[in-house]
Chains A and B, each alone.
Chain A
Amino acid sequence: MRLSPQQFWRIRENQYRLFITVCGSCGRKAILKRPVCPYCGSDRVHHVESSGLGVLESFTKVYYRRNSSEDDLPKFIGVVRLTEGVRVVGEIVGVGADELREGMEVEAVLRRYASDDPYGVIYYGIKFKPV
């Protein structure tokens, strides 16, 4: 399967870095740099970059292999509560099944997500590893 270099290029800022949208109307925060608040629809928003630090709240083990994925199965997908108070779903790497636990402190890292094998574009993005 071929992903889209053009599509990835357009969204790469949100793939490479952890931004938080802060709403000036309702005051709520949401993950990703967004043009409008996902809660109240206001465009009175500003964006801050997360420290990348957080706590693993929950996780699951995944065996599903999607096309163009790296072959690092099984993998762990977790819910991370960032220190800024926003939750984000992401892959947890650099840790074995016996080491994973809820409440573990994690930090954002840049890793490969997938590639257009064998000679296509490599897609990078944020995952989380234990601090």
Chain B
Amino acid sequence: MEVGIRGWGAYIPRFRLSALEVAALWGYDGRLPKALGMVEKSVAEEDEDAATMGWYAARVAMRRAGVSGDDIDAVFFGTESKPYAVKPSATIVADALGVKRRKLATDLEFACRAAGEGMRISVGLVKSGLARNTLVIGSDTAQANPGDLLDFTASSGAVAFVVGPASGSAAVIEASVSYVTDTPDFWRRDRSPYPEHAEIFTGEPAYFHHIVSAAKLLMEETGLRVEDFDYAVFHQPNGRFPLQVARMLGIPQEKVLPGLVTPHVGNTYNASALLGLAKLLEEARPRSRVLLVTFGSGAGSDAFSIVVQDSAPELAKMGPRVADMMNSRVRVSYSEYSKFRGLLLKNVGG
């Protein structure tokens, strides 16, 4: 059975923090935001978290797919900013969406790549007949050590897909492959409030190596060539890396820019590349072929070949579009960002 994306949804909080303000506050050169390809990043409100944002995206995805909670056989929640260290978010979101009790439901963790892996697991479940439809959610309120380089990019957002039979779907997933190694480029130890990273090491042996390897593996296994793809979406830790990795693969910039959201949204971690895919489903011509490659530190990538179907433009009208959410924005100060994201230490209880 061919597998497809039957519906999709996204959520981007309306607040934005300027990269120039981050640079000024922490004493960075004012040219650094441009070097990172960053203008601003999205900031979740105080009562939002990965579960609430994921719920919104999933609700829109189910509406576009035309499915109810009874039609969903599995819920995969990809995040690295779980509201609970122990207690699944997938169960909260599934119950709040009215997904039936006879289901698989779990949180997946692989830095920014868990939701991508959820997509691959879903392809297997649907193809094998073990599930009719699955719900894959990527949602993060990404944290950064204040003043760290990640402070320019770590942001909040969510995306969700209903994966099911290809017939009548918005996009067919015609092939997928994963590439995983043990690479310590980014991590967070137990009880550590913020993640750490290995500076420049996050680039060459981690991001670039895994994305290039997964993309090449996909093309080897399918016989597809770079020119066969109309668009390419890569994980977007900043505004520069996706363009650099595209050059390494010989993909022109104009095929990457339509799916590049990070300069104005930030790195939404598990929603990052998938948010770019959601945008393309709303904008690409039917029959366009999209190369999607996720990346998660630690490290691994999933590469997908996805063909947009005729129904996508009509389905796009059934929910808020990524481009509209990108444009609906209110600037906040670093003080407000600190309050919203709980960076201030206070006495609590009472």
Residues of A within 8 A of B (CB): 1, 12-13, 16-17, 49, 67-68, 70-72, 93-94, 96, 109-113, 117-118, 122, 124, 127
Contact = CB atoms under 8 A, between A and B. Distances in A.
Contacts of A49: 98
A73 B2 CA distance: 50
26 contacts: A1-B349, A13-B95, A16-B96, A17-B96, A67-B350, A68-B350, A70-B46, A70-B47, A71-B339, A71-B346, A72-B45, A72-B46, A72-B47, A93-B47, A109-B55, A109-B56, A110-B55, A110-B56, A111-B48, A112-B52, A117-B349, A118-B348, A122-B83, A124-B51, A124-B96, A127-B47
Question: At the interface, is chain B mostly helix, strand, loop or mixed?
Answer: loop
Given A16-B96, A17-B98, A118 B51 contact: no
Contact of A110 (B46, B52, B330): B52
B1 interface: no
Interface residues of B, number: 22
B45 A110 contact: no
Interface string B338-350: 0100000010111
Contacts of B14: 94
A124 B83 CA distance: 11
A71 B46 contact: yes
A70 to B, nearest CB: 5
Given A1-B350, A110-B52, A94 B96 contact: no
Contacts of A111: 47-48, 52
Contacts of B339: 71
Given A70-B46, A118-B348, A127-B47, A12 B95 contact: yes
